[in-house]
Structure 1
Amino acid sequence: MHDQIAARLTDLRREFAIGEERLRELIREEGTVRETLLRISGAIQVLEELTTDVPPNGTRSAPDDALKLP
């Protein structure tokens, strides 16, 4: 009985170590995905701003604030 318990304990420790390593890999992957999403979000924001500032004729207009006189 003692040998079976010792063998099971060894198996569980090995599986636990494997699980910890997998968790570390997933955390690293999460960071990479977050960075990628942040870059994509920034690119989307820039392109949206460019498309709202460009009228159909292709020339950029000055912001509304620039047209107001003090």
Structure 2
Amino acid sequence: MKNTLEQRLNALKSEYESGQKMLAELDAKRNQLTTTLLRIEGAMQVLQEVLAQEQPADNVTDLPKAVR
């Protein structure tokens, strides 16, 4: 009986350690993904700002030649 309980305890410890390792790996992947998404968001914001600045210049070229 004691031997069976010790075996079960060892198996549970092993599963627990595996779970902790997987959780740490997932946390690292989440942090990497969050960083990547922040970079993408920043790049999108820069592009939107550049496009917004160029928008009025594009409208000038749409005006008739006599008005320019």
> TM-score, length-normalised on structure 2?
0.77
> What per-residue deviation string (whole Å, max 9, x for no partner) do you get for residues 23-53 of structure 1?
1101111111011011000001001111111
Question: Following superposition of structure 1 onto structure 2, how do residues 1-70 of structure 1 map, counting pairs within 5 Å?
Answer: 1-55=1-55, 57=58
RMSD: 1.8
Structure 1 consecutive aligned stretches of length 4 or more whose deviation exceeds 2 Å: 55-59
Q: CA deviation at 1:11?
A: 0.2
> TM-score, length-normalised on structure 1?
0.75
Shift in CA distance, 58/32, structure 1 to aligned 2, threshold 3 Å: farther
Q: Which amino acid aligns with 1:24?
A: A
